[in-house]
A and B are shown apart, each in its own frame.
Chain A
Amino acid sequence: DAEITQSPRHKITETGRQVTLACHQTWNHNNMFWYRQDLGHGLRLIHYSYGVQDTNKGEVSDGYSVSRSNTEDLPLTLESAASSQTSVYFCASSDRAGGNEDEQFFGPGTRLTVL
Chain B
Amino acid sequence: EDQVTQSPEALRLQEGESSSLNCSYTVSGLRGLFWYRQDPGKGPEFLFTLYSAGEEKEKERLKATLTKKESFLHITAPKPEDSATYLCAAEGGTSYGKLTFGQGTILTVHP
Contacts A43-B44, A43-B101 aside, 4 further interface pairs with beta carbons under 8 A come to A48-B97, A94-B97, A102-B49, A106-B44
A102 to B92, CA, bound (A): 13
Q: How many residues of A contact B (CB 8 A)?
A: 25
With contact pairs A90-B43, A94-B97, A108-B42 given, residues A42 and B49 touching in the complex (Cβ less than 8 Å): no
Chain A hits for B45, CB < 8 A: 106
User: Beta-carbon contacts of B61-103 to A below 8 Å, as 1s and 0s?
Assistant: 0000000000000000000000000010101000011110111
Q: How many residues of B contact A (CB 8 A)?
A: 22
Tell me, yes or no, whether A71 is within 8 Å of chain B by CB: no
With contact pairs A102-B32, A105-B46, A106-B44 given, residues A45 and B103 touching in the complex (Cβ less than 8 Å): no
B97–A42 contact, CB under 8 A? no
With contact pairs A102-B91, A108-B42 given, residues A42 and B103 touching in the complex (Cβ less than 8 Å): yes
B46–A103 contact, CB under 8 A? yes
Tell me, yes or no, whether B25 is within 8 Å of chain A by CB: no
A103–B102 contact, CB under 8 A? no
With contact pairs A40-B103, A42-B87, A101-B49 given, residues A106 and B43 touching in the complex (Cβ less than 8 Å): yes
User: Beta-carbon contacts of A29-69 to B below 8 Å, as 1s and 0s?
Assistant: 00101010000111111001010000000100000000000
Tell me, yes or no, whether A7 is within 8 Å of chain B by CB: no
Which of A42, A96, A108 interacts with B102 by CB under 8 Å? A42
Counting chain A CB atoms within 10 Å of each CB, which of B42, B43, B44, B98 scores highest?
A: B43
With contact pairs A42-B104, A103-B34, A103-B49 given, residues A50 and B44 touching in the complex (Cβ less than 8 Å): no
A50–B99 contact, CB under 8 A? no
Tell me, yes or no, whether A104 is within 8 Å of chain B by CB: yes
Quote the shortest CB–CB distance from B87 to chain A (angstroms): 7
Query: A56's closest neighbor in chain B, by CB?
Result: B98
Counting chain A CB atoms within 10 Å of each CB, which of B32, B91, B96, B98 scores highest?
A: B98
With contact pairs A43-B87, A58-B98 given, residues A104 and B46 touching in the complex (Cβ less than 8 Å): yes
